[in-house]
Structure 1
Amino acid sequence: MITIYVYILDTLADWELGYVTSELNSARFFKKDAQSISLKTVSCSKEPIRTMGGLTIMPDCLIDNMVVNETSALLLPGANTWSDTKHETIIERASEFLSAGAVVGAICGATAALANVGLLDNRPHTSNGSGFLEMVSPCYKGQNFYIDDSSVADNNLITAGSTGGLLWAKQIIEHLSVFQSNTLEAWYKYFSTGKPEHFFALMQTLPSNNEN
C-alpha cells in the first residue's frame, strides 16, 4: 500500500490539490494491478485548518505519526502561511522523504519553503515564474536549475506553480504508476482540453472496457 500524506495548513490553496487527491483517493481510473492508496491529511497540530476557499479540514494524523519509506509520498500545497516557523518541521520531513526515495510534491508557496532550506539548489524545479523564488526566499541558490514550466518532475521531487495543478497531478500519478500509460495520457488530454473524444478514449482504456 502507498500512503499519501497531504500536509494541511491555514489558507491552503484548495484548487491546487483537486486533481491529484481526487484521483488517488477514488482510484476510479487505476489499472488492475495498481497498489492501493491510503490518503491521510497531516498537520503540525490537531487543530482544524481553514482553507483559502473557506473549508474546514481536520488532520488525520500529526507529523510525528508519519512513516517515511519508499511506499509513502508527501504532498505540500500552496498557502499564504508557509513563512510561519511552525511549518519548518514538515520541511525537515520532506528532506527525509527525498533521501528515502519517496515522492515529494510541492506546489506554489510550498516550493518557496523548500527553497528556503536549500532543497531546490541542485535539482531541476519550477515555481510561480522566474524571479518568484528569489523574491520570497533570500537563501535560494537554485537559479541554474529553474525550469520555466507549469510543473517539473525530477525523479521523486515534483514541483509546480500555482496554475500547474493538472500537470503536477499527472506527473505524481505517473511516478506512482497507478494508471496505465494510455489511461493517463487520455485523462490528461481530456482535462486539459475538455474535448469529448478524449473522454471516450479514456473510458476505452479502463480495464472493465477491455475485457471480453
Structure 2
Amino acid sequence: MHRHPVHLAVYDTLADWETGYATASLARAGYEVRTVGASADTVRSIGGLAVRPDLVLDDVRPSGSSLLILPGADLWDAGDRLAPFARKAREFLDAGVPVAAICGATAGLAREGLLDERGHTSAVSFYLAATGYRGGGRYADADAVTDGGLVTAGPTEPVAFAREILRLLGVYEGEVLDAWYRLYHDSDAEAYAVLQWAGAR
C-alpha cells in the first residue's frame, strides 16, 4: 500500500529530542520521513545537529503528505519567523491531513488560532495563555492530546507524543500500542515480548 511521506519541520533551535521516538517508529513502519525547512539552507538544532532540509515549506502540499510534525524551538517564542509553519499547519488541518505539535510549536498554533476549538495540551496552561489565544477552556493537563486531527504535547513527553502519532496513523493499536508505550516510557521489559510477538519494534 502506498503511503505518503511524513513531513518533519526543521528550523534553527529545534528541540531535537522531541520527535525522535515518532520519526524512528514511523520509518520502521515504512513511512518515508522528509525534512522541511523555510528555505534549503542548513539549520542547527539546540543540540548542535546540522540538518539540511529535503524540501522547502512552500513546496509541501497536504495532498502529498500523511502528517506534518512541528517540533519545539526557541524561535517559536522569539518573533514570527516560524509563523509560516503554523500557517502550513492550518492548511493541513483544513485539508483533513493531521498535524502533530510539541512544546513551543503549540504556542505557534495557539497564535494561529488552531487551538481555540480543539482539545490540546502543552508545557503548562499559562504558557499558552501568554499568547492571548481563546482556547484556554480546551486545555487539558495531560501528557498528550489528540483532537480533530491535531496532536499536542509538552516538551517532557516525547514518548506520549509518539504514541498519539502512532495511534493516529494506525501504526500500532490496542495491546501493541500499549506495550510500545510501556517499553519506551516505563522501561517495562515485559512489554518487549508483546512487541516481539507482534513483529513490532
Match of 1:127 in 2: 122
DSSP-derived class of the 2:69 partner? strand
Unaligned runs of 5+ in 2: none
Partner of 1:100: 95
Decide whether the 8 Å contact of 1:44 with 1:86 is kept in 2: no
For the 8 Å contact 1:70–1:101, the answer to whether it is kept is no
Aligned to 2:134: 141
From 83, 88, 94, the equivalent of 1:88 is: 83
Give the alignment partner of residue 40 of structure 2, picking from 33, 46, 49: 46
SS at match of 1:45: coil
Q: Name the SS for the 2:8 alignment partner.
A: strand
Report Cα offsets for 1:43-62 as digits up to 9, x if no partner: 10111111111110100000
Deviates more, 1:189-198 or 1:38-47: 189-198
1:204 is aligned to: 197
Match of 1:77 in 2: 71
Q: Which amino acid aligns with 1:57?
A: V
1:156-190 Cα deviation digits (max 9, x unpaired): 10000001111110111111012243322211111
Q: TM-score, normalised by structure 2?
A: 0.92
Residues 118-169 of structure 1, C-alpha deviation per residue, up to 9 Å, x if partnerless? 111111000111211123x1x3111110001111011310000001111110
Aligned residues: 197
CA distance in 2, matches of 1:67, 1:118: 21
Instruction: Report the CA distance between 1:203 and its aligned residue.
Output: 0.7
Match of 1:118 in 2: 113
In the other structure, the counterpart of 2:179 is 186
What secondary structure, in the 3-state scheme, does the structure 1 residue paired with 2:74 have?
Answer: coil
Q: Indicate yes or no: 2:54 matched with 1:60.
A: yes
What is the DSSP-based 3-state SS (H/G/I as helix, E as strand, rest coil) of the residue aligned with 1:15?
A: coil
Residue 106 of structure 1, CA deviation: 0.4
RMSD value, Cα: 1.5
Gaps in structure 1 of 5+ consecutive residues: 28-35, 208-212
Cα deviation digits, residues 64-104 of structure 1 (max 9, x gap):
22121385210000000123423222211110111111110
CA contact (8 A) 1:182 1:205 kept: no
SS of structure 2 residue aligned to 1:40: strand
Give me the whole-angstrom Cα distance separating, in 2, the residues matched to 1:147 and 1:72.
Answer: 26
Match of 1:170 among 146, 163, 188: 163
